[in-house]
Chain A
């Protein structure tokens, strides 16, 4: 198994609209806020750090930050954030971030958007815990690969 497969989440959706329209729904902050369930000020531009306040009932008022990485019109929109980091009073700045990437592709009658959230290397150990339960050999194999990765990238 490749490391990347163990450390990312990938989802996609087909939208019956042209790519330019879908791009706008993602990158126009006012539009984004509506479907994402947040309120925010500023603009999506590469390098921007946006503070977002959740508007979803039950969680309204909680704050998180999103660091914009890349904006390649109608191709790629990406940001970094901290997985699950909204506990008030905790400093998350030193914790690992995950990378969220949206990619856009024409498909008959509309656009396919794929979102990949990656960087769960640390967290993905948890996925392997399942293998640990089911198959000790598999777990050992994967952990050997992880160990190799960690040593080489140290």
Chain B
């Protein structure tokens, strides 16, 4: 169970998971996931968040490699970095196969010890 789970848990992954483990940032990611780079005004539209608050959350996402900000003219536009998200997805797949292994060990352990 643990070999892969441990393997997967690099410091960087921990940062990505922490970055995504926040409802506001999930909302921002959801908006960015439409694919089009968005300005901070677009990202904060319809929410009660200030531009400063949105900017702060975007920087957390940027630090984790989940989103990138680029200057376009006078405005910053933000977009997702799908490569980073794909890496986390691969880890989910690894966790699933770790459960397969763990259950196989459980089965072997119980069945080898059973009274016939």
A positions within 8 Å CB-CB of B: 9, 11-17, 21-22, 25-26, 31, 34-38, 54, 56, 58-59, 62, 83-87, 90, 92, 95-96, 113, 115, 117, 120-130, 132-133, 136, 139-140, 143-144, 146-147, 150-151, 153-154
- Whether the Cβ atoms of B106 and A26 lie closer than 8 Å is yes
Q: How many residues of B contact A (CB 8 A)?
A: 51
The secondary-structure label for the interface of chain B is helix
- Whether the Cβ atoms of B92 and A11 lie closer than 8 Å is no
Known pairs A86-B5, A128-B33; A9 contacts B96 (CB<8 A): yes
Interface string of B1-30 (1 = CB under 8 A from A): 111011011110110011011111011011
B positions within 8 Å CB-CB of A: 1-3, 5-6, 8-11, 13-14, 17-18, 20-24, 26-27, 29-31, 33-35, 80, 82, 85-92, 95-96, 99-100, 102-111, 114
Q: Which residues of A contact B91 (CB under 8 A)?
A: 84, 123, 126
Candidates B11, B31, B106; contact of A13 at CB < 8 Å:
B106
Q: How far is the CB of A149 from chain B (nearest CB, A)?
A: 9
Q: How far is the CB of B116 from chain A (nearest CB, A)?
A: 11
- Give Cα A36 to B105, complex, Å: 8
Known pairs A84-B14, A90-B14; A120 contacts B2 (CB<8 A): no
- Whether the Cβ atoms of A95 and B34 lie closer than 8 Å is no
Q: Which residues of B contact A115 (CB under 8 A)?
A: 99, 102-103
